[in-house]
Structure formats: structure tokens, C-alpha cells
Structure 1
């Protein structure tokens, strides 16, 4: 997984809140030991504010950001795209015929990877942006590397491309285009398989 860019200001706001909560927790720990006349040795300064903040950040990064309540009260705006998706695509070379595949999206609060597997090739995201303040709705934009499988025509070769997908309910829809040597473009629809969030 790689870090992704977003236009949501939540990363700064949540990080600031984690810092404030960490100071409060450290103060409570200090107060607890002081009221019980427990003398902590100088070499036991852990966890300290930074240790608490790091722990809270990791917990938020992996689990807390997925809690629907945090999304409903506006603390988290980035959608949870984690899970397996059924893919249907069309390309300019397919002459009206669609192709099928599977997509797996792995996501934490600040990192994401998009992997797609079809009969002819597999692709993996290189970089991504998740825009939540677009007029058209939540938009996932990513650059990918596509590698053909051994049994496909020799005219297919490894290439890079870009996909722009918009989230509508539990469906990602949009377009993709590949590098100048492939001169290919098409559309993709990804439908979530069950609720893996």
C-alpha cells in the first residue's frame, strides 16, 4: 500500500485532536501515580506524550477511521473502499463486448492499493488520490501498472495508465486510459462483493 492524496482537511484536524488527547492521557497517568505517592524511576518515562500519540495514531490509522459514527458526525470524510469488487469493463478494442475481472482494494486511513485481475492481465496502483469535495461526488484517481499474462497476444505488453472512478453507493464507475504506446481507453464499473468493511 502507498500513501494517497486527498482534498479532505481531516488528516490535520484528527492529528491535532490526537495530540490534545495524548497530552490529556499523559496528564491523567501522571496524576494517578502522584496521588498514590508512587515514585516512578527516571528511566521509566514511557509512554510519554509522543508514545501515546503514536499509539493512538496507529489505532486510528488501522481501525478507528472505519467506524461509521465518525463518518456520520463529520470527523472522517474519506470513504472506506476496503474489500473485493466485481469488475466489468469495456475497451476501445473490444467492439462492444465487455470483459470481467476482480478488484481488491486495501485501504487504511492514509494508504491504499488497488489491484485488478482479468483474464488477460493484472494491474496494480502506483499512486492514488481520493477526492471527497468534488461536485461530481467522491472521486478515486489512480495511476496503475498493467502486466499481461503469458497466454495473451504478443501485441499486449506492460504499460502504465490512469483511471478516474466516481463512487455511487457501493459502485465505482469511470474511465481509464493507457500510455501513448497502447493508445487504449475504456470504461470500468466495480461493484462491491458483499460488505467487507
Structure 2
């Protein structure tokens, strides 16, 4: 079962507009492909070659199939490449991040470390955090383009303590992270409720591939 979920996109290029552009491109490509195939059949017949075009071939270049292929390529790759990625105003956050956190509800404040893995496509995202005592996964998220600071990632997560961590309770929480435009670091804050009333700060640095 995939744990990635859809995320809201605020301040970036409208998702429905992207779908319309892909649909137009699919129709154009499909029409061109059918025209080329039919022209090839006519050319072959003009040379006395008995050529036929099976319906299965036409279905492969139909607008629906072309749209499916183009959208898959866009969803997994194209949205984050070069000029197109900058135009859409959606940061590519996928990868592993080293997280240094501080629980500010403690006296004195309590530092903690974690590794965060972000899985992201154009449509879906997942933020997974691992510490020595527990792990958490996002269940809802939003990405906001902010011209002043870069990008904001807001997400709601569910945390589960590891087996044997009897002092910890499963809980829900919320985090807000700010990513500069270069996408190599982030800083933000979190708070927990419904089982663990704590709050604090987080600083992330992206690991090199």
C-alpha cells in the first residue's frame, strides 16, 4: 500500500491548467501520429504493397493512451526539470534530509536528531521521519510558494513509538518548514497534540546523493 498522498499547491501554477495543456498536447500528438501512419499506408499501397493498419495500432496512438503516457512522464519527471520546474513554482524536495530538532517545552530544552525522507511527484508527497524512538508519516500536506522566503511545506503527521518505548504515546502533530529557493536546507517548527503535548524547532540539511 502506497503511503504517498495528494498535497495542496498554493501560489504555484494551477494544476487544472497543467492538465488542459497535457490534454491539448495529447490530441495534437495523437492526430499527427494517426496522420503519419495513414500516410505511410497510402504510400505503401501506391507501390503495390498490401498494407493494413490493425485497430490495435490506432488504439496505441489514440489521444487517451498518449495522455496517459504524457501525464505519467510529467508526474514523475518533467515537472521538476529546468525552466519548466521554475515556471511551475513547485520545489523538488524529494530525498534524504538530516534533521536537528529541539523540544522547547522542556527545561532545559531537549535536542533530538532524526532522518527525514521525502517522496514527491507532481501529484503526491510523503514526509517520513525516523528517530531512535519513533517514526512518523505525513497524512496531509500543502506546498506554498512565498516570493519573500522561498517555499513553505505545511503537513499534518501521525507518529508511532517503537516497540518498547512505553514512555511515549502515539500522537498527531503539525509541522511548518521553510525551504530557501536553492532547496538545500530548511528550518521550521512543530507542535504535537492528542497524546503528546510538545513543541519545538527543526533544522534540515539535504544529504548529498
On whether the aligned pair clears a TM of 0.5, the verdict is yes
Measure the CA separation in 1 of the matches of 2:115 and 2:195: 25
Residues 85, 193 of structure 1: 8 Å contact kept: yes
Match of 2:26 among 22, 25, 31: 22
Give how far 1:40 is off: 2.4
Q: Which moved more, 1:2-11 or 1:33-42?
A: 33-42
Residues 88, 190 of structure 1: 8 Å contact kept: yes
The equivalent residue for 1:165 is 177
Match of 2:145 among 132, 135, 142: 132
The equivalent residue for 2:5 is 2
Unaligned runs of 5+ in 1: none
Structure showing greater radius of gyration is: 2
Q: Which structure has more helix as a fraction of its residues?
A: 2
Q: Over residues 144-197 of structure 1, what are the superposed CA-to-partner deviations in whole Å (9 max), with x where a residue is unaligned?
A: 011112343x33110001111111241121111111442211111111011x4x
The equivalent residue for 1:45 is 58
Residues 33, 39 of structure 1: 8 Å contact kept: no
Measure the CA separation in 1 of the matches of 2:115 and 2:170: 19
Give how far 1:84 is off: 0.3
Give how far 1:39 is off: 4.2
Secondary structure of 2:163's counterpart equals coil
Secondary structure of 2:110's counterpart equals coil
- How many residues of Structure 1 are paired with residues of Structure 2 in the alignment? 192
Give how far 1:69 is off: 2.7
Measure the CA separation in 2 of the matches of 1:32 and 1:180: 62
Measure the CA separation in 2 of the matches of 1:95 and 1:149: 25
Unaligned runs of 5+ in 2: 43-50
Matches within 5 A, 1:1-197: 1-7=4-10, 8-36=12-40, 37=42, 39-42=52-55, 44-47=57-60, 48-72=62-86, 74=87, 76-91=88-103, 92-93=105-106, 95-133=108-146, 136-152=149-165, 154-168=166-180, 169=182, 170-194=184-208, 196=209
* TM-score, length-scaled by structure 2: 0.84
Secondary structure of 1:189's counterpart equals strand
Secondary structure of 2:143's counterpart equals strand
> Compared with structure 1, are the counterparts of its residues 98 and 79 closer, same or farther at alpha carbon in structure 2 (3 Å cutoff)?
same
